[in-house]
Amino acid sequence: MLTSAEVAYRGLLIEQDKRSAHRYVDSYEELKGKTLLDIGAAEAIFTLDTIEYIDHAYLFECDDAWIESLEATFALWKDRITIVRKYVSDVDDDNNITLDRFFQDEGKSIDNLFLKMDIEGYERKALKGAVHILEHGQQIDGSVCIYHLHDDKKVIESELKNFNLKTSIQLGYLYFEKEMRSALY
């Protein structure tokens, strides 16, 4: 009999399998030399899988239950990982930050980024807080979940196209809230 940890780990592996509708990239090579914004990091399996390809990762995670695990998991790469304990949103306050403000405050380049957004229906707000990055950044790639809200596929595609970004939908579907939905742009 499998432990709950083993079941959870298998689920993560299935989620990022090359055949999964929830896989964030076709190949990890796509992230070579990029700065990864793991927005909604949770256990950060995607960052862990890509750590040898990326230059740096910002793990945006507020759930206290994950922080100790993230620090332990990435101890060997602590010079390439920054844990940001704020929600990514369209407002800046004690608990939230826009990506535009984050990069302004950090004084970091907005070029050569990969944005992974899996934030339980708050992807739209996060995109609204990234207007400067999406308008002016060069070599911006990403994977944005489009299944949390019923009309995410339509609304998020429209928002991304407003910035003249090319979009494509990951093949396959997820069964979510009693219907089949596309998973990612």
Residue-wise pLDDT tens digits, 149-178: 999 999 999 999 999 898 988 887 776 777
pLDDT at 12 over 80: no
Q: What is the pTM of this model?
A: 0.90
Tokens of 44: 């950060």
Q: Quick one: DSSP state of residue 179?
A: E
The b-or-e profile of 30-54 (16+ CB within 10 A means b, else e) is ebeebbbbbbbbbebbbbbbbbebb
Q: Which of 112, 117, 104, 98 is nearest to 24 (CA)?
A: 117
CA end-to-end span of the chain: 36
Q: Give kind and range of the element (H or E) at residue 90.
A: none
The CA–CA distances, whole Å, from 17 to 14, 30, 142, 144, 162 equal 5, 16, 18, 17, 31
Question: All domains of the chain, ordered by start, with CATH?
Answer: 28-141 (3.40.50.150)
